[in-house]
Chain A
């Protein structure tokens, strides 16, 4: 790694080595998730070879893809020391908007419906962001409110109506079912989105501002970071991403009513936390959150294959969440003294 080589000339007193250790611990998080994934898949596959069949894996990947895409936005919000609970409702209403668009304009150009989903999501994200930053209300409360409000609007709009698969053109549902070289389109979309987001979160000033704000909000203000504007942006992004995810969701599940996406916010937050994003902001990666989504979905499917009741599967997701948090505490407790003793030499 080039980074290691470059740091060599400052590590005269052996700090390079302990740095490498801290870095390994840091990366260990994502490695740990991959390891857990491998174990789950292997154990389940031994028990039931159908688990690693093509269709089964494809289904798994498609379902995880939606959560992973949502997790991108949620990660950004959580990194700024906020939380967005309204993404499930936003996904639901934008999926419904897309469905209604197909009912009224069966021949609409497909990219348009993604723009519609994005616009609907962005609008609600903007509302979240405005309330949080202008009125300085904690985002937990704001988005809990909008979770219900948006669901209410959705219910009012949809009534008992359901947009069925018959209203959706094949060109659209293909996005949910189609594959390239065996990989579902949705999986490819999620991988691409996660890759772009991971890179962007590392490479742009605005993205680093998100981390700074979550790490120490007062210092962020002193450093001249426009904290309110950045937090607003995080919510707008999260909303827009949830909107696009709504369009993907519809393409996968093929029908939408007023309760679409209910409870997704918690699946997503669980994935983000399991993926190593600190719940109080400042650290974590989009990649980790996406892997967290994949792990939780894999466990879910594995338990079905292993004939474990679905009640257990949520209990296990919960236990995993607690384990992830305990691991975090343990890790930071371990790292803290190591970092403290690692003072720089005085010259």
Chain B
């Protein structure tokens, strides 16, 4: 029904997709799995008409198709549920669902009664109770996801693509969604299900395609597969070599967070990070992990609670105080918050340590260069010239520059937010080794990560957040994928800290 053959797509120097191939059959649910950065989302965006492949062919019913925009994809009968909800905060829930295809009455006017009615019907099918008239602004991530799903169901799509639709949903909601997906499949639609929850893939799909590093690995029928064979194909190596956190001596508590609260964002967050320890903050997107990190570092002001470093309380809402106490923050969004993309590599590395580099308030070029070269060498950065702007580097090397910037300050506490998002597997392993070394040197590391294998491999302890509250804390031995996911979806709340 729909096939993509050997598609490639690059963004500047980054090859997001090198060999994207998939074939969808009517009446079949097809699983697409792979690690973050394997190229799944790029493939989905090609099907959606968001990106045009640099090469390769897209076939619909055997005919070659080229999508210049999303509308053409929609007209070809493809409905996409995107991973990140793309709603209009100012419009009502009903309008969000029907935007561009609102039911009409005489004179091409929108029939808003019918729109509301159909929204309620859709929600009934999904088992959702949501007010169709409320604005989308302020919906929880799960509710936003449900609106996205409803949106995809409005068109009589022949191909339904779900890009990690279940990440924020509760188990009952997932079951309902699967019920609908099965019904659509049995009516002859093709379903593409992108997920890293393998149980769900086994639950729903007939065939599975694995991608790794932008390439199609294989496509196999589900009954030939086990979780183990899929994971091996996804990772391409044994898990242990990927996440090499070494045992380090656990020192005294360095970072102490006590009952930290920010109204409406997170509540009553308490934990310690000891010297030599890596503590992971796990949870779903939107659980409030990054917000906790921002509050610890003082970017956002906490409404209540305290943060102490080496027993000394930090002044609230002051990144300067946090920095002078030895806290470093490697933010999630390195392009926006971690780096100044147009400045040179050496300037970016030295940026947080200018006090050490400056002479009489000036920054001597040579001193800055020597300072930066030292750190760049320690992190094995691959670069052209030290004076090149940072945007010329690959994602992984950009991340190393951010790390170098903070390591140069010799922090006692390092907070890293999604340290390996969107970087290639090789560099990923290097970043992991680096974090492990840091812990070995007695730094207290707080790591936020959405990748469970990374959390399981790197963390000495895992703290799980769900909707702004701690719902679980696990030592290395108790931390399993299942336990963390249950806590992260809020299905089990009885765990005590």
Residues of chain A touching chain B, judged by Cβ–Cβ distance below 8 Å, are 3, 6-7, 10-13, 15-16, 19, 22-23, 202-205, 208-209, 211-212, 214-216, 218-226, 278, 282-283, 335-347
Contact = CB atoms under 8 A, between A and B. Distances in A.
A339 B70 contact: no
B48 interface: yes
27 contacts: A19-B134, A23-B133, A202-B110, A204-B110, A208-B95, A208-B110, A214-B90, A219-B86, A221-B69, A222-B50, A223-B70, A223-B99, A223-B100, A226-B71, A278-B90, A282-B90, A282-B91, A336-B264, A339-B135, A339-B139, A341-B264, A343-B139, A343-B143, A344-B129, A344-B131, A347-B127, A347-B173
A205 B100 contact: yes
A346 B91 contact: no
Nearest to B88: A215
A-B pairs with lowest CB-CB distance, top 6: A339-B138, A224-B71, A219-B86, A282-B90, A344-B130, A215-B88
Contacts of A225: 71, 99-100
Contacts of B127: 347
Contacts of A283: 90
A211 B90 contact: yes
B240 interface: no
Contact of A216 (B89, B100, B131, B170): B89
B138 A336 contact: yes
A13 B135 contact: no
A340 B91 contact: no
Contact of B91 (A6, A16, A211): A211
Interface of B: 48-50, 69-71, 73-74, 82, 86-91, 95, 99-100, 102, 104, 108-110, 113, 116, 120, 127-135, 137-140, 142-143, 146, 170, 172-173, 263-264
Contacts of B173: 346-347
Contact of A212 (B74, B88, B116, B120): B88
Contacts of A19: 131, 133-134
Nearest to B70: A224
Contact of A340 (B69, B128, B264): B264
Contacts of B128: 344, 347
B131 A205 contact: no
Contacts of B82: 222
Nearest to A340: B138
Contacts of B50: 221-222
B91 A208 contact: yes
A208 B99 contact: yes
A346 B170 contact: yes
B88 A13 contact: no
A7 B88 CA distance: 21
A7 B133 contact: yes
Contacts of B146: 344
A295 B415 CA distance: 52
Contacts of B91: 208, 211-212, 215, 282
Contacts of A347: 127-129, 172-173
